[in-house]
Amino acid sequence: MLTSEGTLYPLLSRLRREKLVDTSWVESEAGPPRRYYQLTKRGRQTLTAFHEQWRTFTAGVNRLLEEER
């Protein structure tokens, strides 16, 4: 397992506080209500910016690895 509930839920709470996700409670027939998360417009913009930074970062790492060969 890459992450645990102890890691995931604090991260989701932070995203909610930063207005990057909206949440809603939905009643469940199989137990307690469930919270659903959805990216906000700001969250989508942040994700797009991160994706561009990630591409730049990984391209740099890949260049370094190729130079080492």
Residue 21 belongs to a domain with what CATH number? 1.10.10.10
CA 45 vs CA 3, 4, 25, 26, 34: distances in Å:
25, 27, 24, 26, 26
Domain count, the chain: 1
Q: Residue 15: which of 48, 37, 45 has the closest Cα?
A: 37
Nearest to 36 by CA among 27, 44, 45: 27
Task: Give the pLDDT confidence of 13-52 residue by residue, as tens digits.
Answer: 999 999 999 999 999 999 999 999 999 999 999 999 999 9
22 C-beta neighbours (distance < 10 Å), count: 14
| pTM of the predicted protein model | 0.73
Range of the domain at 53: 5-68
